[in-house]
Amino acid sequence: MASGTALIYDDEMTSYKLLWDDPECDIEVPERLLSSYEQLKHYHLVERCIHVPVREGTEEEIMLVHSSEYLEVVKSTQTMNEEELQRVSENYDAVYFHPNTYRCAKLAVGATLQLVDSVMSGKVRNGMALVRPPGHHSQRNAANGFCVFNNVAIAAQYAKRRYGLQRILIVDWDVHHGQGIQYVFEEDPSVLYYSWHRYEHQQFWPLLRESDYDAVGQGKGKGFNLNVPWNKVGMGNSDYLAAFFHVLLPVAFEFVPELILVSSGYDSGIGDPEGQMNATPECFAHLTHFLMQLANGRLCAVLEGGYHLKSLSESVCMTVKTLLRDPLPQISGEMAPCLSAIESIQNVRGAHKPYWKCLMYEVPPVKTAAAIVSKADAHLLPVSVQVEMEMNAQELKTFVSAFDAELVKEEKALLSLQNVLAVLDKILKKKVCSGIAESSVASVSTTFALKHCFDFGLQRVLCIVVGDMDLELDLDDGKILLMNICQKQQTEKTNSKYYISLNWKEDAERNNFFCAVLGFILPVAYSYQPDLVIIVIGPNRSLGVNGISLLTCLLQGLAESQILVVIQDTEIKLVQSVAKALSGVSTPDFGAYAPASQENVLEIKRLRDQLQQEWKMLRCSVRD
């Protein structure tokens, strides 16, 4: 295997600068290169690298990415006066031209290709090119964002041509989206482009919709464009590492690149006025180190942005030091990605799930599905809850007529079934873990839901009804265990093993329902071992939102957490709290603890005495 690290730099690339006042462009200064190179000398890194001279990129090479018309425009700026230069610059977004720009842009291309040749020929293992102007924003017909020729995109096309490469990975860790690179390779599956970038929901330059995570590539190139949009500033070491661990690296190892090109911008580092991010220079050592494990170590880093001179030059040194295989520096900061970063990472993983095996099985499934009557309330649910589309009327009729032809004629009953069956079906087919459904006639819906469960092959369903409800059910065979938590004494029915009526009055503010759940409901439920739990919230309920949430939370220990909650009234606070309980985003508020009333304590004792022979988990005393 080749050894050695190439360093490509020529101070001629410091020979152009901004000649007029432009606050957007005045950060792109020659000192960026000078101070980076000075710092490399200071750490004695220059002498440890193999010096490779620059050359000009040829017109043919430039035209691997750019049009001849655009090349002519850039060429024409060589002989322009300041006024003319300013006028050409205004044709583009965030660009300035200088009489030496064309020469430097050709050197930047040539330096990049020299680096590719050094690595591909085996002269060195890896290397870095310190170049100006940068490249990743420039496009076939346009300069953009300080970039004139797209050094890295040209290098990828060149490597494909000259060395017949079939898989090239471009990692763009500059804080801006390299939209120029994305456009060139959008439909090309042989070049995998990865970019993270400050995005802030499209409020940050270059303000493009196509910088979001759902731009996955087009046509044959689908899956080969990975965008990680940062929606907050202040991303740091742990956020960058998390994006590498959970997005770039798994996909890169599956892709198996033959060469890695890094669009190595350091405006993503701490202190940079453009990026406003927090990654320390050490972070770039770690990023470099991970990439060195791919493509047989064939890695070419090419400078893009980076406008805080100290941060930039330290980060450049960290990169080169790592390429030279020095031991890695300790990485600082609390190792926990922020919520916004996690959200972005989850979104990219979700968007790329269809294209990469490494993501296919791992993206967490939607935990909870909700079908609610008032779609206007959908936004009040936790974001992790998937709101269901209603089944269309014809689908539903077909569905219902499969087990009750009579009901198909009743429009109202049919509609009340809709939400419940849509969600239940998802649970049974394991598309989601749990679900909530609002239904105007909960009793009919529940009867049907239970029938459907047994048709599907379930053995035991625990059905907990809160409130007054009459369910016409056959309870003899033990396929259903029905618990009714109600206000008034059920006189017409007597308790049996599979029908239990629990009289309960809850304090609306404070929660005394713990003792019923722990002392009775859970022991019986665990003795029963259901395959599914259905909680039905009917009218005249004697339990408040707190009690119902507690019940929902604790019953998740059963039936592999498969719980369907059917709610008859459309009280959004209840739906919200149950959604919170099921999705596990946060623990719902159970209310302040209150001791149970004398009445309630006696009711629990009565039931325990009555049923502990049947349900052995109720036993907690040797005397009984």
Helix (H, G, I), strand (E, B) or coil at 168: strand
| Shortest Å distance, C-beta 368 to ligand X5A | 42
User: Would you say 98 or 176 has its CB closer to ligand X5A?
Assistant: 176
User: Is 57 near Zn ion (CB under 5 A)?
Assistant: no
Residue selected from 174, 186, 388, 603 as contacting Zn ion according to rule CB under 5 A? 174
Q: How far is CA 475 from CA 286, 462, 471, 479, 481, in A?
A: 63, 11, 10, 7, 7
Residue selected from 265, 337, 538, 544 as contacting Zn ion according to rule CB under 5 A? 265
How far is residue 473's CA from residue 432's CA, in Å, rounded to a whole number?
27
Return the closest-CA partner of residue 13 out of 108, 147, 143, 146: 108
Selected catalytic residue, list 98, 137, 176, 197: 137
Span from 140-148, 320-328, 342-350, 500-508 in contact with ligand X5A (CB under 6 A): 140-148
Could you say which of ligand X5A, Zn ion, none residue 205 binds, taking C-beta under 5 to 8 angstroms by partner kind? ligand X5A
Cite the beta strand spans of 79-172 per DSSP E: 126-129, 168-172
Return the closest-CA partner of residue 241 out of 282, 199, 192, 193: 282
The answer to whether the beta carbons of residues 535 and 466 sit under 8 Å apart is yes
Helix (H) or strand (E) holding 186: none
Q: What angle do CA 386, 389, 392 make, to 5 degrees?
A: 160
Span from 145-153, 433-441, 581-589, 606-614 in contact with ligand X5A (CB under 6 A): 145-153
The residue with tokens 């064309």 is: 102
User: Is 137 near ligand X5A (CB under 6 A)?
Assistant: yes
Span from 4-12, 62-70, 262-270, 530-538 in contact with Zn ion (CB under 5 A): 262-270
Binders in 157-176 for ligand X5A, by CB under 6 A: 174, 176
Binders in 301-320 for Zn ion, by CB under 5 A: 305
Three-state secondary structure of 332-396: CCCCCCCHHHHHHHHHHHHHHCCCCHHHHCCCCCCCEEEECCCHHHHHHCCCCEEECCCCCHHHH
User: Is 544 near ligand X5A (CB under 6 A)?
Assistant: no
Binders in 302-331 for ligand X5A, by CB under 6 A: 304-305
User: Would you say 24 or 404 has its CB closer to ligand X5A?
Assistant: 24
Span from 141-149, 361-369, 502-510, 519-527 in contact with ligand X5A (CB under 6 A): 141-149
User: Would you say 239 or 267 has its CB closer to ligand X5A?
Assistant: 267
| Shortest Å distance, C-beta 22 to ligand X5A | 10
The answer to whether the beta carbons of residues 174 and 136 sit under 8 Å apart is yes
Residue selected from 13, 33, 65, 94 as contacting ligand X5A according to rule CB under 6 A? 94
User: Would you say 134 or 337 has its CB closer to ligand X5A?
Assistant: 134
Instruction: Dump the DSSP string for 188-252.
Output: -TTEEEEEEEE-TTTTSTT--GGGSTT----GGGTTSEEEEEE-SS---HHHHHHHIIIIIHHHH
Residues in contact with ligand X5A, counted by CB under 6 A, come to a total of: 14
The answer to whether the beta carbons of residues 159 and 120 sit under 8 Å apart is yes
User: Would you say 21 or 411 has its CB closer to ligand X5A?
Assistant: 21
Span from 143-151, 224-232, 409-417, 597-605 in contact with ligand X5A (CB under 6 A): 143-151
Residue selected from 64, 113, 147, 483 as contacting ligand X5A according to rule CB under 6 A? 147
Return the closest-CA partner of residue 416 out of 394, 390, 386: 390
Residues in contact with Zn ion, counted by CB under 5 A, come to a total of: 5
| Shortest Å distance, C-beta 240 to ligand X5A | 17
User: Is 271 near ligand X5A (CB under 6 A)?
Assistant: no
137 classed as catalytic: yes
3-state helix, strand, coil in the chain (%, to 5): 40, 15, 45
Span from 101-109, 139-147, 382-390, 409-417 in contact with ligand X5A (CB under 6 A): 139-147
Span from 144-152, 322-330, 425-433, 452-460 in contact with ligand X5A (CB under 6 A): 144-152
User: Would you say 207 or 360 has its CB closer to ligand X5A?
Assistant: 207
User: Would you say 312 or 607 has its CB closer to Zn ion?
Assistant: 312
Binders in 35-64 for ligand X5A, by CB under 6 A: none
Helix (H) or strand (E) holding 43: none
Compute CA 183 distance to the chain's CA centroid, rounded to the nearest angstrom: 23
| Shortest Å distance, C-beta 199 to ligand X5A | 14
Could you say which of Zn ion, ligand X5A, none residue 145 binds, taking C-beta under 5 to 8 angstroms by partner kind? ligand X5A
User: Would you say 176 or 580 has its CB closer to Zn ion?
Assistant: 176
Distance between first and last Cα of the chain: 77
Helix (H) or strand (E) holding 174: none
The residue with tokens 């502990």 is: 612
Residue selected from 24, 200, 210, 343 as contacting ligand X5A according to rule CB under 6 A? 24
User: Would you say 265 or 435 has its CB closer to Zn ion?
Assistant: 265
How far is residue 334's CA from residue 137's CA, in Å, rounded to a whole number?
33
Q: Which residues contact 225 (CB under 8 A, 6 or more apart)?
A: 182, 185, 186, 192, 193, 215, 216, 217
How far is residue 323's CA from residue 126's CA, in Å, rounded to a whole number?
7
Could you say which of ligand X5A, Zn ion, none residue 134 binds, taking C-beta under 5 to 8 angstroms by partner kind? ligand X5A
The answer to whether the beta carbons of residues 86 and 20 sit under 8 Å apart is yes
| Shortest Å distance, C-beta 127 to ligand X5A | 20
User: Is 206 near Zn ion (CB under 5 A)?
Assistant: no
How far is residue 554's CA from residue 588's CA, in Å, rounded to a whole number?
12
User: Is 22 near ligand X5A (CB under 6 A)?
Assistant: no
Count, in order, helices (H) and strands (E) of the chain: 21, 16
CA-atom Rg of the chain in angstroms: 33
User: Is 467 near Zn ion (CB under 5 A)?
Assistant: no
Residue selected from 56, 117, 172, 267 as contacting ligand X5A according to rule CB under 6 A? 267
Binders in 178-217 for ligand X5A, by CB under 6 A: 205
Residue selected from 28, 172, 186, 267 as contacting Zn ion according to rule CB under 5 A? 267
How far is residue 343's CA from residue 478's CA, in Å, rounded to a whole number?
44
User: Would you say 206 or 265 has its CB closer to Zn ion?
Assistant: 265
Compute CA 118 distance to the chain's CA centroid, rounded to the nearest angstrom: 37
Provide the binding-site residues for ligand X5A, judged by CB under 6 A: 24, 94, 134, 137, 145-147, 174, 176, 205, 265, 267, 304-305
Provide the binding-site residues for Zn ion, judged by CB under 5 A: 174, 176, 265, 267, 305
Residues catalogued as catalytic: 137
